[in-house]
């Protein structure tokens, strides 16, 4: 979900600049201020595409706001952050699924989310509590978590970019997970509270819910146990967590993430190298994709995601079978001679990025 020049929130942007030694390109097709997934009367908006409800856009999702992100949001006293900060304060005051780890998803929300088949982009009742109705924007934009920070409905480089963002999501999630635990340790939550916060066995998704869960209220005893010495001082705890994390360099975050985060980092760097390359493979073949033909002989192709279909003209569609694994330069020459079509390098790259053509090397 992208609004400004950097596709990432400031803290994650700084870390990734250190990790990748280069800025991450923006995703300008995800035009959140004028949502690219909301139907318009404009010509070119296809009846075949998937559309989201303008009252929710893609924010039919409740993210976990990790303790240090909550702290960053509480510390942001700029006027434009005020509406979002109020949504965070309201959740802390309500106490539902509020733990020293952060603001988590209430059990009822989890249950509903797992049971509704087409909630995403559609079910207004599943809308994120940090969505600001006025202006239809995210209230926690500057400290949104990894899922929201790395999800885009449309990607400039299609499947290739999807691989990068998926890898980055994993890396940031691992970082969030370890940092939230690290904050809890640094802030001396105490062993009894830790025991309550991190049970020996995670509750299974099918575990029965308590009455308090259904009523969307916090059970006072469980709540007190989890917060230990910090009960009643939750906002201060979150602020301290935010202060602990905000100055950390990426090298420290990587160290705290352990081997799993370090492996994830290598895979992000690898995906970023491929995303940064515009080379065209020396041998290509046409991939198998879903397509819906247009009356003019062109088609809408669904490749890596239904939210980002690719429209191809009849002329381009007709030359795809030429790509059968022979050297790309020879195929391009043959298309030029037999069909009079100039298959340019940017067009080839686009077909590869979106998985219409695949590397046959
Ligand atoms: S669907 Fe979400 S990511 Fe895509 S443009 Fe709309 S708000 Fe942005
Ligand atoms: S945190 Fe922001 S971007 Fe994420 S679902 Fe909520 S309103 Fe949308």
pLDDT tens readout for residues 179-205:
999 999 999 999 999 999 987 776 666
pLDDT at 47: 46
Percent of the chain at pLDDT > 90 equals 80
pLDDT at 9: 97
User: Is the C-beta atom of 128 inside 6 A of ligand 1?
Assistant: no
* DSSP conformational letter for 341: -
**CA 46 to ligand 1 center in whole angstroms:** 17
pLDDT at 354: 97
pLDDT at 252: 98
- Ligand 2 atom index nearest CA of 131: 7
In 3-state terms, what secondary structure has residue 99? strand
For 189, 276, 310, 326, 357, the CA distances from 282, given in Å and listed in that order, are: 58, 18, 23, 8, 12
pLDDT at 208: 77
- Ligand 1 atom index nearest CA of 153: 4
pLDDT at 49: 66
pLDDT tens readout for residues 336-350:
999 999 999 999 999
Task: Answer yes or no: is pLDDT of 288 > 50.
Answer: yes
User: Is the C-beta atom of 31 inside 6 A of ligand 1?
Assistant: yes
Nearest to 353 by CA among 301, 293, 299, 297: 301
Task: Answer yes or no: is pLDDT of 4 > 60.
Answer: no
Instruction: Name which residue leads in pLDDT, 218 or 283.
Output: 283
Q: Best substitution site from 55, 62, 138 to test ligand 2's pocket, by max atoms within 8 Å of Cβ?
A: 138
What's the mean pLDDT in 136-156?
96
User: Is the C-beta atom of 52 inside 6 A of ligand 1?
Assistant: yes
Q: Which residue has its alpha carbon closest to ligand 1 atom 7?
A: 32
Task: Answer yes or no: is pLDDT of 220 > 70.
Answer: yes
Instruction: Name which residue leads in pLDDT, 37 or 215.
Output: 37
pLDDT at 43: 52
- ∠ CA 148-7-289, nearest 5°, is 75
For 165, 195, 259, 281, the CA distances from 174, given in Å and listed in that order, are: 14, 21, 10, 33
Integer Cα distance of 68 and 186 in angstroms: 12
pLDDT at 3: 45
Nearest to 349 by CA among 165, 151, 156: 156
How sure is the predictor about 41, in pLDDT bands with cuts at 50, 70 and 90? low
pLDDT at 2: 44
What's the mean pLDDT in 13-28?
95
**CA 56 to ligand 2 center in whole angstroms:** 10
What's the mean pLDDT in 198-225?
81
For 27, 92, 188, 230, 240, the CA distances from 233, given in Å and listed in that order, are: 39, 10, 13, 5, 11
Contact status, residue 49 vs residue 55, Cβ threshold 8 Å: no
Specify which residues 359 forms β-bridges with.
284
**pTM for the model:** 0.93
Q: Which ligand is nearest to the CA of 127?
A: 2
What's the mean pLDDT in 165-169?
98
pLDDT at 203: 64
Q: Best substitution site from 30, 59, 81, 84 to test ligand 2's pocket, by max atoms within 8 Å of Cβ?
A: 59
Q: Which residue has its alpha carbon closest to ligand 2 atom 5?
A: 59
Q: Which ligand is nearest to the CA of 128?
A: 2
Q: Which residue has its alpha carbon closest to ligand 2 atom 8?
A: 59
pLDDT tens readout for residues 102-128:
999 998 998 888 888 777 888 888 999
Task: Answer yes or no: is pLDDT of 44 > 60.
Answer: no
**CA 33 to ligand 1 center in whole angstroms:** 8
**CA 330 to ligand 1 center in whole angstroms:** 40
Mean residue pLDDT of the chain comes to 92
Q: Which domains does the chain have, with CATH numbers?
A: 10-276 (no CATH), 283-359 (3.90.930)
How sure is the predictor about 15, in pLDDT bands with cuts at 50, 70 and 90? very high
What's the mean pLDDT in 246-257?
97
- Range among 28-32, 259-263, 290-294 rated most confident: 259-263
**CA 14 to ligand 1 center in whole angstroms:** 23
pLDDT at 244: 98
Integer Cα distance of 111 and 106 in angstroms: 9
């Amino acid at each position: 979900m992208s609004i400004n020049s950097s596709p990432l929130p400031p803290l994650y942007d700084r870390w990734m600049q250190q990790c990748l030694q280069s800025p991450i390109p923006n995703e300008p097709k995800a035009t959140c201020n004028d949502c690219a997934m909301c139907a318009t009367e404009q010509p070119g908006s296809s009846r075949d595409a998937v559309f989201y409800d303008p009252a929710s856009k893609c924010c039919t999702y409740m993210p976990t706001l990790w303790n240090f992100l909550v702290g960053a949001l509480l510390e942001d006293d700029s006027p434009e952050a005020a509406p979002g900060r109020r949504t965070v304060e309201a959740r802390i005051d309500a106490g539902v699924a509020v733990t020293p780890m952060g603001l988590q998803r209430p059990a009822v929300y989890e249950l509903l989310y797992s049971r509704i088949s087409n909630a995403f982009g559609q079910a207004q009742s599943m809308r994120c509590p940090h969505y600001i109705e006025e202006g239809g924007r995210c209230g926690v934009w500057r400290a949104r978590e990894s899922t929201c920070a790395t999800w885009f409905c449309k990607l400039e480089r299609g499947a290739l970019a999807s691989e990068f963002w998926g890898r980055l999501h994993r890396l940031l999630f691992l970082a969030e997970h370890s940092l939230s635990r690290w904050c809890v340790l640094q802030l001396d939550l105490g062993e009894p509270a830790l025991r309550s916060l991190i049970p020996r066995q995670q509750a299974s998704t099918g575990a029965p819910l308590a009455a308090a869960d259904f009523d969307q209220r916090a059970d006072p005893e469980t709540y007190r146990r989890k917060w230990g010495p910090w009960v009643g001082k939750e906002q201060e705890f979150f602020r301290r967590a935010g202060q602990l994390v905000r100055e950390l360099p990426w090298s420290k975050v990587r160290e705290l993430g352990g081997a799993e985060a370090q492996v994830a980092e290598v895979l992000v760097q690898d995906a970023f190298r491929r995303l940064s390359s515009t080379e065209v493979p020396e041998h290509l073949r046409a991939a198998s994709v879903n397509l819906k033909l247009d009356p003019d002989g062109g088609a809408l192709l669904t490749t890596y995601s239904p939210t980002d279909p690719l429209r191809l003209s009849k002329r381009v569609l007709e030359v795809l079978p030429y790509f059968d694994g022979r050297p790309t330069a020879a195929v391009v020459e043959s298309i030029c001679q037999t069909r009079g079509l100039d298959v340019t390098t940017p067009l080839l790259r686009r077909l590869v990025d979106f998985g219409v053509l695949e590397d046959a090397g």
